[in-house]
Structure formats: C-alpha cells, structure tokens
Structure 1
C-alpha cells in the first residue's frame, strides 16, 4: 500500500445512557478528546467498543456518526468481525459504504481453527475488500494463533494493510516484520507490550488505553518514533502500571469505562453479557492514572 496509515489508533468505547441506549453525544466528546490529544486514527467496533453487544443498526449509527464527527481529520477504522467469510465480506462492504477508511478483521472466532484453515477462509475476505484491512491476531479470544508464515499467502492482496498483534509473544512484532516486509504495517495490540513492540519496529499501536490516556499514549509513541528511547522508557515507567492493570483484568472494558466516568467522561455501563469490574480494581486503576 502507498501512504500507509500508522501511529496511535485509539479504540473507542461505546458510551451508553442510563436507559441502555447508545449515547452518541458522549461518543462525540470522546472523539474530540482523543483527536485533541493527537492520535493518528480511531478504531470503532473493536472488542473495547463492545461491537458484539450492539445491534446491526447501532453499529451503523455509530460508524456513520463518528465519520461525520471526525470529518477526515484522521483515518477511522471499523471492526468487521463475523464467523462466515461471506458475512465478513458483507460487513467490510458496509463499513466502506458508511465512510470508514479501513476495516479490522479476525479469523473465524470460537472455532479454534488451524491457522492454515483460518487464513484460507480470510483469503476470500482480502480478495473482495475495497478497503485496507488490518488482521487482528488475538488467539486468546479467537482460539487461533496466526503466525507470520501463515499470513504470507495474504501478501498477494493489495488490501493487506496491517496486522494488529496481540498474541503476547515477546518477539512476534519483529518476526512479523521480517516475514511480511515493508508493505504491511505491524501494530502493537497488547497495551502492556507497547514499548517492547516499538523497540522491534512497530509502525503503530492500536490502543484501548488511548481512549482513557490519549496524551500519555501519544507521547510514548512520539518518543519511540523519534528514537528518543530514554524519554520512552521514562514515559513507560509511568504508563506501565495503569496499562498492566487494564491488560490483566477480565473486565477491562468495564474498568476503562468506570475509570473514565470517575475522571468526568461518563461512559455508562457495559452491556450484557460483559462483566462489571470491581470497585477495588477501579480504585487501583484510578490511583495509577492519578499518579501520572
């Protein structure tokens, strides 16, 4: 791809009002906040965005609204996850219609497919896509770890823009860069490994934490991008505690939302079946954030 999309992509939450409806006014406030902090892009309908808990109509409303608010200031990427490849193809086409600049896809979730089988199914998606695609490798949730060598057949598709790497393997970012070359961007997806990913040459960071701490995440990225590793390590010393608290929680979406609410950016509750973070965990994260 030419003119690749890089840098920090903040993963938006879905704010809900007290009556359980999607709160697009609060989404606007959140978008303006992260844009003011200097993020390079926004991802909607990811896991942090509670995509699976939204109806098709709510998903469309969220993306169309965000496209209007962002108004081309940064790229806006929409999560397009589904089980059947044909349904993923349909979702990507819808995201393009709604105005998204790119789409994020995963292997078919829950099935625990062999990686070769998962990539063969994704080949149909990449062949059909008119949007740049980021492949989200999240074996802990999807059940399939797609290794660098498994992704190589996808290189024949111009739509293959990037990989969001969330396996937690310590050297995976470097391995992906070696296997995929310069035409495919590699993004850190595990917030707790952001600095490590940057030391291995990551092109960016798809960060749930950037919805909560956009200024700090952007500052870390800029230090790493400029090669100021002393500054990056200094920033990481502060960021690592809140990011580790988020990464280590099974209820991280609720944890982010509740902490933002305590900071004056109300996000409302998570929607069933997601669980609610404990008051103790929220206090611990809030304390870590306040120490920044």
Structure 2
C-alpha cells in the first residue's frame, strides 16, 4: 500500500496492563474506535506511544497486531527513534518485515548531530528500505531542526515523502510549500496549531487528542476540507482546552486520562512515568469534565 499523506493519523498511545505488559485487548478497542471515526492512518511508537520505553519485541508486536486490526483499510506507520544509524536501519528492516506501510523518523537520539550528520542518517535509512518515510521535525522537544536546506538534500531520496511539521512555527507550512510544492507532503504535528496549519496548506494532521476524541478530530479535518470553515472553527474552539493537554511534558498521562473518560483507554503508563496526581491531576480532570459537558453535536462529516 502506498501512503496518501492526508487526513487524520492518530499518534496512538501504547496500552499497558497493571502488570506492565502490552494490553492488546484495550489497544484493539482504541484502534477500532479510530477506524470507526474515519481516520486515515495509524502511527505507532511515537512520543505518545512511549517509544523510549518499548522493547524491540514490543514494537514488533504492536506493528503486527495493528496491521491485522486495520486489515488494509489505512496505512500503518511505526516510528524510528534510534541512537545509531545501524540501529535505525535495523528498525526499518524489522518494520518492513512486520508489515508496516511506512516509517516516521526522528533524527538521531541523544547525540546532537550536526546538519550533515542528520542528512546522512536519514539518507542511509531511506536507501536501505523501500518503505515511504515521514521525517518528524520537532526541534522543540528533540533539539535538532531539519531545515529547508537539509530537506532539499533529503528529497534526492524518492521515498522521503513527508514531514511531520512540529516546529510550532505556523509560517513553516508556507515556507515548505513555497520551497517544495507537493513534493514534500506536510502533516501538522501540533494539536494547538492543527486547524491553522490545515488552512495554510498542510495536507493532514498527526494528532494526539484524537486518541480520546477521534470523531471530533476527523470532523474538523473533513469540514475544513469541504470548505465549511466556520463549522470546523466552532468545533476547534470547543476542542482547544483539551488540545492544550498535548503540548505539555505530561502529554502521555494527560491523553491517557482523557481516553479513560471516553471509554477507549486506560491510565496505565510505563515507569519512570507515573499517573497524574494532586493538583496536576485535578486540573486535567476539570478540563476533561468541561469538555465532555459541552461536547458538540457533530454533522454527518463522513459524507461531505
């Protein structure tokens, strides 16, 4: 399956049991809720997926199970976040073997690589696999920016096709479009800039709060695509306090707590993360409560 870089693709959370093993039953509940809402792809093992805590075997299990669950309906991407080029190439080969449709790739972890090193890293992986690649550009959290000059070099690799644009600079959508047109597809990666990015020309949305609110997220995308901008804005304004739970160091705990209250997740996280407590927990619960109390009635967004 080739990837149509468009629409809403959830960066799904990884579900754990109380015994700190993969909870594949609850994982399936959430994936099925995403598919029912009409998402356009699934992204595994990202920041929200607690990537740094997962073993290679667990990543393989999640990929294989997701491929079975989606049954060809949407593409399945697995994130690569490795410390070495050798490790990243091995991860790409494993993803291909496990049936993934594509890769989301961060720059090298831990070592703050220079521009030439980052370009060489991405190129080496791209040349080692036939899978399409989306570069995850998040200098705010990961301290390395993939610049336009670097993308100009990377696009020599035909299978580097998209960017998850998480610089938090809304103007970057226009810069990328001006520089590369449709050669580099743009998937906005910041929930609180999502609608703005889509209206400025982003092709899709790698979303976080979609994990708890799949229908509302897809409705925003479909409404703006259909030109029903004011309806999209109305839902987005309701959604914004919840979306702000994504731009927070505790985004995993925040979103998992929201999933509990919409019935499609659990609160279990993997140590060193701990569930929210005290005033922090009370604040997030209040945001979720207010959101649920004023949850909008959605139009028939699937048939626009």
CA distance in 2: counterparts of 1:215 and 1:203, whole angstroms: 18
Matches within 5 A, 1:112-127: 112-127=112-127
Q: Is the 8 A contact 2:3 2:101 kept in 1?
A: no
Post-superposition shift, 1:3? 6.2
Q: Is the 8 A contact 2:30 2:265 kept in 1?
A: no
Post-superposition shift, 1:37? 0.3
Give the TM-score normalised by the residue count of structure 1.
0.94
CA distance in 2: counterparts of 1:197 and 1:116, whole angstroms: 28
Q: What is aligned with 2:137? A: 137
Matches within 5 A, 1:253-272: 253-272=252-271
Q: Which moved more, 1:86-95 or 1:223-232?
A: 223-232
Closer/same/farther in 2, CA of residues 288 and 92 from structure 1, 3 Å limit: farther
- May I ask how many residue pairs the two structures share in their alignment? 291
Does 2:194 correspond to 1:197? no
Post-superposition shift, 1:75? 0.7
Q: What is aligned with 2:282? A: 280
| Corresponding residue SS for 1:246 | coil
Q: What is aligned with 1:245? A: 245
Unaligned runs of 5+ in 2: 296-304
Post-superposition shift, 1:83? 1.4
Q: What is aligned with 2:300? A: none
CA distance in 2: counterparts of 1:246 and 1:45, whole angstroms: 16
Post-superposition shift, 1:11? 1.3
Q: Is the 8 A contact 1:138 1:165 kept in 2?
A: yes
Matches within 5 A, 1:18-167: 18-167=18-167
Q: Is the 8 A contact 2:27 2:265 kept in 1?
A: no
Q: Which moved more, 1:112-121 or 1:210-219?
A: 112-121
Closer/same/farther in 2, CA of residues 63 and 256 from structure 1, 3 Å limit: same
Closer/same/farther in 2, CA of residues 285 and 246 from structure 1, 3 Å limit: farther
Q: What is aligned with 2:175? A: 175
Post-superposition shift, 1:169? 1.0
Unaligned runs of 5+ in 1: none
Task: Give the RMSD, CA atoms, in angstroms.
Answer: 1.7
